[in-house]
Amino acid sequence: MNRRNMLRSSTATLGGVVGGTLAAGCVSVTAGSGAKTLFEVPITTIPIVGSSEVYPVRRIYCIGRNYAAHAREMGSDPTREPPFFFQKPTDAIQYVAPGTTGNHPYPPLTKNYHYEVELVAALKTGGRNIPMDKALDHVFGYAVGLDMTRRDLQRFMGDQKKPWEIGKSFDMSAPIGPLHPVSQVGHFTKGAISLSVNGQVKQSADLSYMMWSVAEQIAQLSAAFELKPGDIIYSGTPENVGPVVKGDVMLARIAGLPDLSVKVV
């Protein structure tokens, strides 16, 4: 294998975790050394509607308590305090194709496993301190997502003032549908968002009820982190989160996007 092919093959498997940068759209692995990786680490990608290309995921950011009624049900004051963020590991993504029902394993350690339907925004460009009026220019597209949560573990850790990670950032905790480019669907600032379980509506709200819009989330996040292409943002869930058990089928729905159907197995 010549050096060019070796670089290309490491790029495909490692996703540019280390090293310099090539031209836009490419990532480089230890540019200059050409070192072979010890083993292959698959990159996480999300299909793009109407394209043969896929979207590579760099980071998954999630915003907490972004709908007033959900903030109240979680026991906090829904005044417009700055949004807070957490992350899920990139490989927590579980892609589910429209028209199919994805099998989603009930995770270990929990007895109170909750759905949270959310609009997901995917960035094509990034930066630091992005002004709000430029923020949406960075969005590549949108998808329907579920921020699955081991609520008992989240609460248990929160009560002890310990990190929530075990409640939020576990394997397959981020089911998602395909990405829809902004060029085809525009931006989502309003419209119905809902989740039903076994045909019964549980969550039902409107994207316009978000306390912090996607543009504001990007502006705030970019003050704390340098955002980059491949970063996706789960934008928070409305009220009436609740539990699922094995056998339940969740249908997540946002007006203008195909439904996301997931069965707990």
| Torsion angle, alpha carbons of 44, 92, 265, 193, to 10 | -100
Binding residues vs Mn ion (CB under 5 A): 116, 147, 237
Least distance (Å) between residue 70 CB and Mn ion: 8
Cα–Cα dist 154/142, whole Å: 27
Question: Which residue in the shown chain puts its C-beta closest to Mn ion?
Answer: 147
User: Would you say 145 or 181 has its CB closer to Mn ion?
Assistant: 145
Least distance (Å) between residue 116 CB and Mn ion: 4
User: Would you say 27 or 62 has its CB closer to Mn ion?
Assistant: 62
Cα–Cα dist 250/17, whole Å: 34
Least distance (Å) between residue 80 CB and Mn ion: 18
Helix, strand, or coil (residue 241):
coil
User: Would you say 116 or 216 has its CB closer to Mn ion?
Assistant: 116
User: Would you say 48 or 144 has its CB closer to Mn ion?
Assistant: 144
Cα–Cα dist 214/184, whole Å: 18
Least distance (Å) between residue 237 CB and Mn ion: 5
Q: Which two tokens stand for residue 176?
A: 């998602």
Exposure string over 120-130, b if 16+ CB within 10 A, otherwise e: bbbbbebeeeb
User: Would you say 7 or 251 has its CB closer to Mn ion?
Assistant: 251
DSSP 8-state assignment for residue 67: B
Least distance (Å) between residue 208 CB and Mn ion: 18
User: Would you say 147 or 231 has its CB closer to Mn ion?
Assistant: 147
User: Which phi and psi (to 5°) does residue 77 adopt?
Assistant: -85, 120
Q: Which two tokens stand for residue 247?
A: 């056998």
Least distance (Å) between residue 252 CB and Mn ion: 12
Least distance (Å) between residue 63 CB and Mn ion: 7
User: Would you say 116 or 231 has its CB closer to Mn ion?
Assistant: 116
> 176 pairs with which residues across the strands?
95, 145
For the chain, state the CA radius of gyration: 19
Cα–Cα dist 208/5, whole Å: 48
| CA 27 to centroid of chain Cα atoms | 21
